[in-house]
Structure 1
Amino acid sequence: MLTSPDFLLQSPLRPDPIPWIQETYLSSLESQLLATGLLVVVALLATVGIRRSVPSVRRRYGPQIAEASAVAGLLVVVLGSIYAFSVIWHVTFVLRRTLAAMAFDRWIVTLNLVTITIAVVAYLCIRFVNRSIDKLAETRALTNHQSEVAYHVADVAIVGSAATLALTLWGIDLTNIFIGAGAITAIVALTARETLTSMLAGFILLFSRPFRVGDWIEVNDRSGIVKDVTIFNTKIQTFGDKHVLIPNDEITSSQLTNFSRNDQLRVEIEIGVDYETDLEYARDVIVDAVCDLESIKRTPNPQVVAKRFGDSAVLLELQLWIGDPTKRRTWDARTDAIEAVMAAFDREGISIPYPHRVHSPRDDDGYPIRGMERDEMGLTAPQD
């Protein structure tokens, strides 16, 4: 076994200039303390310089390069400070013994290098896939919800594949892991059926894309604007300013109406006219009244059809179209059309009849009431 002086002389961590510097300038306690103070100051200045250089590197090369450069710089400062401290205090043999204790055989080193390579490749794949998803989102090929789900699915798939490869490389048997994962999956499937159903429905909505955020939809008589779509729920804002969470499995199993899917929507308004009214003339008056409204589309043209016979009127149906349909535009078009039709009917003398009923007495005298007698005006008070 080598003694400490021999070990110091033969240490590869002490190249030729280092022993001369130690003997000439670092042989006394005072010089060592002074050198240690200078080392601390230099390390602090280097750390501050690295932190101040991060913003400029981020602007020029991006946040990832800036972060990696800062970490590498701090690592160099720490390792250099440790080595300089060992040189100042003549303890470089401690570093050599530490490195000797950490020595591995070639197989272990190769496995570590391959594992690190797999991790780096997985990280690069994640970045590439995420950037591709961002580009698709910029071209409107994917919605925000689809992008978010795609991020998670891609990241989990890449990390899972890399972890499986690394574990196999280290000789770890994955059979028991897969069996345990299958048992856990079966237990979760039995105890959380509704949650899994909603999650599956969320993926169905992801790929079928029956609506997007901002669309006006109606599900089970609940109508509103889609505000967010997650794996489990769809959030809509009703026109009464209420926020409603609808489970995705309810959406996939119910009738869904998307009013924003097309660029136009037909608005239907019932109008009653008297039985003595000329229907063809009334239809022309209605069309002329609404054809110039700004709240409706010119194409297709508004039209009026006879719908059915009512109790006291013939019911006509005014059909008109609005563009870029929203609930507000629907209300505006309906209000403008009703006001225009009423004004046109007043000018043309067309009446909208009120519902009324005709009551007529029976031919017989009905059932007599004991203690009372009838006169021409009706019932009279009982006689004494």
Structure 2
Amino acid sequence: MTPLSLDSPRPVPLLPIPGARVLQSTFLLVVLVFAVWVLWRIAPRLKRRTDPRAVDVFLLVVSGIVALLIGQYALSLWPSARPNAPNVDLRSTGIRVLITVGVVAAAYIGSGMLVRAVDRFTTETGQLTGHQGEVFSRLTEVGVYLLAALLLLSVWRVDVRAFLIGAGFLGIIIGLAANETLSALIAGFTLMFSRPFEIGDWIQVPLEDGTRTDGIVTDITLFSTRIETFSGKYVILPNDLVGSNTLVNYNRKGRLRLEVEVGIDYGSDPNRAIDIAKETMENSRVVLNVPQPDAVLTGFGESAVLLELRFWIDRPSSRRRWRATTDVIASVKTAFDREGIKIPVPQREIAGREDTDGFRIASERRDRRGRSERSERSERSERSERSE
């Protein structure tokens, strides 16, 4: 090592003194914060003039580039930080950062375009309900961002195999621990795309205790179906229970047939009763004329010939069903009374049996024996009084 002489010139430092470096770094940080603040400050104005998603992507890209440039310049101010990370290649790292920003921006724009395409398809064709379109849009977004995440892992040279193996074991554990939840989730997808019913439909569904209840569908989620019964109760059913049992949809065709049974007297003319019932139902304001109301004889009762009234209503609901049933019963009853068609009530004739020798109940014989003994005592007491 060659010693320095006193006469040799002193080396000129290439970088400023540490105090100036701190000042410059602070200034760069302030500039970065101010630049980002200005960009996001003008964002609302830009969104009113152009596509909001394009503005968000522009802000994301510009913010990333500004942060990268300022960070690289700040690192050049502090050469002592470079030995601590000797394997960092600023050039390749910068390229990866730019690729990351581009992939995120592309995923953001692509998911937005797909969501708008799904919304347009739902609105124009009507093949998907609003709820189904929303679920499909969310699944599309998740798929796009998942592909972007896998691409970024490969860009940053992350070992994806270990990640996939860990995800596989995690999926097995979750599948064993949440079997019912996953089955409800799969059944939810099946219900949404098979469309056995929609929100607002009147359906009848089974319950866990074996009974059945009917009500209006208020919401369909990935895990459950919510029904409001006509008594004001909210019933939340798991989708696997709904999908694995038989259900009845009263709104599928937009109309519903109702039946009312009435009895006519054996002495009345059944054909005349049928004609009167049909004419009465056709004149009802709550009964559809097409399909035409009908009345058929269904059997013999204990005291009447059974007549079944069949009629249709549109836009089925519990209120319309009971309103139509009440109107038909009241109208037919009034028409039968006016035309002399009797609606009989059950009658029974009770006749006593003659007292003959034969078997009698033991208690009855004891009662009769007691009454005879009392009558004999009373007769003896009367005879004794007369003799005195």
Q: TM-score range by the shorter chain?
A: 0.7 to 0.9
CA distance in 2: counterparts of 1:197 and 1:157, whole angstroms: 21
**Cα 1:382–1:345, aligned 2, differ >3 Å: closer, same or farther?**
farther
Match of 1:168 in 2: 154
Residue 77 of structure 2, aligned match among 97, 115, 127: 97
Residue type at the aligned position of 2:12: T
**C-alpha displacement of 1:148:** 2.9
Shift of 1:275: 1.5
Question: How big is each residue's C-alpha offset from its partner over 1:67-95, in whole Å with a ceiling of 9 and x where there is no partner?
Answer: 56777899999999x9xxxxxxxxxx968
1:234 aligns with 2:225: yes
Aligned to 2:94: 109
Which of 342, 349, 365 matches 1:370? 365
Residue 382 of structure 1 deviates from its aligned partner by 5.9
Q: Residue 371 of structure 1: CA displacement? A: 2.8
- Assess, with a 3 A threshold, how the Cα gap between structure 1 residues 74 and 116 changes in structure 2: closer, same or farther: closer
Write the mapping of 1:12-91 to structure 2, written as runs, cut at 5 A: 51=41, 54-65=43-54
TM-score by length of structure 2 reads 0.75
Look up the match of 1:3.
12
Amino acid at match of 2:201: D
1:260 corresponds to which of 248, 251, 265: 251
- SS across alignment from 2:216: strand
Identity rate, percent: 37
CA distance in 2, matches of 1:261, 1:372: 69
Look up the match of 2:333: 342
Q: CA deviation at 1:358?
A: 3.1
What SS is found at the alignment partner of 2:366?
A: coil
Looking at structure 2, the residues matched to 2 and 141 of structure 1 have their Cα atoms a distance apart, in angstroms, of 79
Unpaired runs of 5+ in structure 2? Answer: 1-9, 17-26, 207-211, 375-388
The residue identity in structure 2 corresponding to 1:372 is D
Residue 226 of structure 1 and its aligned partner are, at CA, apart by 0.5
Residue 144 of structure 2 aligns to a residue in which SS? helix
Matches within 5 A, 1:283-322: 283-322=274-313
**Distance change >3 Å, CA 48–CA 193, structure 1 → 2:** closer
The residue number in structure 1 matching 2:143 is 157
Cα distance change, pair 2–227 in 1 and its aligned pair in 2 (3 A): farther
- Structure number with greater Rg is 2
Residue among 195, 210, 214 paired with 1:223: 214
Do the aligned partners of residues 73 and 197 (structure 1) sit closer, same or farther apart at CA in structure 2, a change above 3 Å counting?
closer
Q: CA deviation at 1:146?
A: 1.2
Aligned equivalent of 1:359, options 343, 350, 358: 350
- Kept in 1, the 8 Å contact 2:60–2:105? The answer is no
Q: One-letter code of the match for 1:271?
A: V
SS at match of 1:370: helix
Question: How far has the Cα of 1:332 moved from its partner?
Answer: 1.3
Structure 2 CA distance for partners of 1:381 and 1:282, relative to 1, 3 Å: farther
8 Å contact from structure 1 (residues 371, 382) kept in 2: no
**Does 1:183 pair with 2:169?**
yes
Q: CA deviation at 1:193?
A: 1.3
* Corresponding letter in the other structure for 1:114: I
SS of the equivalent of 1:142 reads coil
Distance in 1, matches of 2:48 and 2:175, equals 48
Name the CA distance, whole Å, in 2 between partners of 1:161 and 1:79: 25
Candidates 138, 145, 148, aligned match of 2:123: 138
Any idea what the Cα deviations from partners look like across 1:292-346, whole Å, max 9, x if unmatched?
A: 2111111111000111222221111111111121221111111111111011011
Distance of aligned partners of 1:113 and 1:284 in 2 relative to their CA distance in 1, 3 Å threshold = same
> Are 1:210 and 2:201 matched, yes or no?
no
Distance 2:292 2:194 in 1: 33
Structure 1: which amino acid aligns with 2:77? R
Q: Is the 8 A contact 1:269 1:318 kept in 2?
A: yes
The change in CA–CA distance for 1:125 and 1:175 in structure 2 (over 3 A counts) is same
For 1:75 and 1:188, how far apart are their aligned partners in 2?
Answer: 37
> Is this contact kept in 1: 2:304–2:344, CA < 8 A?
yes
3-state SS of paired residue (1:235): strand
2:365 counterpart SS class: coil
In 2, distance between residues paired with 1:66 and 1:249? 43
CA contact (8 A) 1:57 1:65 kept: no
Q: In 2, Cα distance between the equivalents of 1:197 and 1:73?
A: 45
Is the alpha carbon distance of 1:268 and 1:137 closer, same or farther for their aligned partners in structure 2, counting shifts above 3 Å? same
Mapped contact 2:39–2:59 kept (Cα < 8 A): no
Map 1:240-279 onto structure 2 (within 5 A): 240-279=231-270
Distance 1:176 1:318 in 2: 71
Secondary structure, counterpart of 2:111 in structure 1: helix
The range that moved more, 342-351 or 58-67, is 58-67
Pair 3,225 (structure 1): closer, same or farther in 2 beyond 3 Å = farther
Give distance in 1, aligned partners of 2:114 and 2:74: 46
Q: Which residue identity is paired with 2:366?
A: G
Partner of 1:33: none
Distance 1:135 1:373, change over 3 A: same
Corresponding residue for 1:325? 316
Q: Cα deviation per residue 1:18-56 (whole Å; 9 max; x = unaligned)?
A: xxxxxxxxxxxxxxxxxx9xxx9xx99x968974x5554
Displacement of 1:110 in angstroms is 3.2
CA contact (8 A) 1:50 1:74 kept: no
Range with greater deviation from structure 2 (178-187 or 113-122): 113-122
Paired residue for 1:125, among 110, 130, 151? 110
**Counterpart Cα distance in 2 of 1:160 and 1:240:** 45
Root-mean-square deviation (CA, aligned residues, Å) is 3.6
CA 1:131–1:241 in structure 2 vs 1: closer, same or farther (change >3 Å)?
same
CA distance in 2, matches of 1:61, 1:179: 44
